Amino acid sequence: MDPVLEFLQNTDLAEEIEAINAIYEPDTLTITSNTPSSTGPSTLDLGSGSSDSSPPSTTIKLQLPEHPHLSFLLGFNSTYPDTPPKILGTASTASRGEGKLAVDVLEDILSRTYQPGAVCLFDLINEAVQAFTELSIGGSTTTTSNNNDTTSHTQPASEETTTENDNYESLTTGSITPDHHTFNLTSPPTWILSDVITEKKSVFVGRAAHVTSLDQAKAFLDHLLATEKKVASATHNISAWRIRETKSSASTAGGSKHGETTEMIVQDCDDDGETAAGGRLLHLMQLMDVWDVVVVVTRWYGGVLLGPDRFRIINAAGRDALVKGGFVKEKTSGEKGKKKGKK
């Protein structure tokens, strides 16, 4: 763990900060104060609607990804995640008058994403990036010059500006981000996300979505890589899918009557460079008896080899996404009571 985080008494918060900074930029979350024994306020009152007068034990600056001019101050009590963080106010905005609206929007997102006992910053940031983009608040790193296709000078240097993923950058050149129509989708994919798992500086996130065909599953994966910078630049995106694809018979060939439907089983996987990981993820889906789902587990390598443990963690992230998405069938009481063989 980063030495700066080791002095935090709240290990859940420390691990969450480390994971978020690995997924986004290293300075996405920075600690501005950590005074668990303090009896006075540790930050200025920036106009937040919070009425709790007790000062937070830890104050963190959130630099919102893809919005270089928008940052917030968040307060955390020592009991987090059993108690929610507080939005203390904005640390910076793109223009005057945005602060109050930005705080209101973030507080609304927090009220919807926070659940007692569960860390919430990944979901909070994910939704906030989308919301502030739609509201055109906080500037954007996708602003480009009319004379060339380079990004604005406000974009911080990072691995995202390299050409490691030419396929991704070719889709996102200029200020226009591909939408779902580019991939022949009627609406953007609805991904269910797992909890973030951090192990020796490697970060894992699982996603699952309902699909009805192989073409749709591939379109969902292409859309994800084209619209999520951090996913596209990750070390591995391991995916697997199981689909009962229904097709209509176009002729009477093979004895089928015109207009009848046939069911075709489609199941496959993609290791994306992590040998055997895709097959293990597919095997997990078979054991869980899930259908009509595509799962992708993203891994950002942290520089420390995990050995066989990486397969366990990849499957854990995939399983969490499947369970959270409600894709796992509940066993009936009769099935739960069945036992095989004799002791």
The stretch 50-58 carries a mean pLDDT of 65
User: What is the predicted pLDDT for the residue at 183?
Assistant: 72
How confident is the model over 182-196, as a mean pLDDT?
86
* DSSP codes, 116-168: TTB--HHHHHHHHHHHHHHTT-S--TT-B-SS--PBPTTSPPSGGGSSS-HHH
Determine the pLDDT at residue 338: 53
Please, what are the domains in the chain?
3-134 (3.10.110.10), 174-248+261-324 (3.30.230.30)
- Residues recorded for the chain: 343
Environment class of 100 (CB within 10 Å of its CB; exposed 0-12, middle 13-18, buried 19+): middle
Question: How confident is the model over 136-154, as pLDDT tens digits?
Answer: 776 655 433 333 333 333 3
Two tokens, residue 73: 């101050």
Measured over the CA atoms of residue 132, residue 137, residue 140 and residue 144, the dihedral's sign is positive
The model's pLDDT over 307-334, given as tens digits with 9 standing for 90+, comes to: 899 999 999 999 999 999 999 987 655 5
Which residues lie below 8 Å from residue 248, measured CB to CB, with a gap of 6+? 259, 260, 261
What is the spatial distance between Cα 101 and Cα 104, in angstroms, rounded to a whole number?
5
Average pLDDT over residues 128-142: 75
pLDDT grade for 97, boundaries at 50, 70 and 90: confident
Span 255-293, pLDDT tens digits: 555 567 788 999 999 999 999 999 999 999 999 999 999
